Amino acid sequence: MPMDARDIEQMIKEAIPDAQVEIRDLAGDGDHYAATVIAESFRGKSRVQQHKMVYDALKGRMGGTLHALALQTSIPGA
């Protein structure tokens, strides 16, 4: 069952309440999205740790239901 952009945004925000999330649908198939996530809680964390926070928020869908999520994370004002 493909994912909807709003589902992705909501799941990320539930796990990272202070996140600003922008989702772009890359292929219109519910399977390939690009996401930009800006959050204060990323401060001091490596890119790998930041991305893991987002993947954890998606509760195992990453790499399964959601085949591709081109992800960019940053802290506010970066």
Partner 1 sequence: MSISQFIDNEIKSNDVVLFMKGTPQFPMCGFSGQVVQILDHIGVPYKGLNVLDSGDLREGIKQYSNWPTVPQLYVKGEFVGGCDIVREMFQAGELQTLFKDKGVASKESARA
Residues that bind partner 1 (CB under 8 A): 47-48, 51-52, 55, 60, 62-64, 68, 70-72
Kindly state the smallest distance separating residue 8's Cβ from partner 1, in Å: 14
d(CA 69, CA 33): 5
Q: Return the number of the residue (55 or 75) whose C-beta is nearest partner 1.
A: 55
Q: Return the number of the residue (2 or 63) whose C-beta is nearest partner 1.
A: 63
Kindly state the smallest distance separating residue 4's Cβ from partner 1, in Å: 19
Kindly state the smallest distance separating residue 53's Cβ from partner 1, in Å: 12
Based on C-alpha coordinates, what's the Rg of the chain?
A: 12
Q: Are 58 and 11 in contact (CB under 8 A)?
A: yes
d(CA 2, CA 8): 11
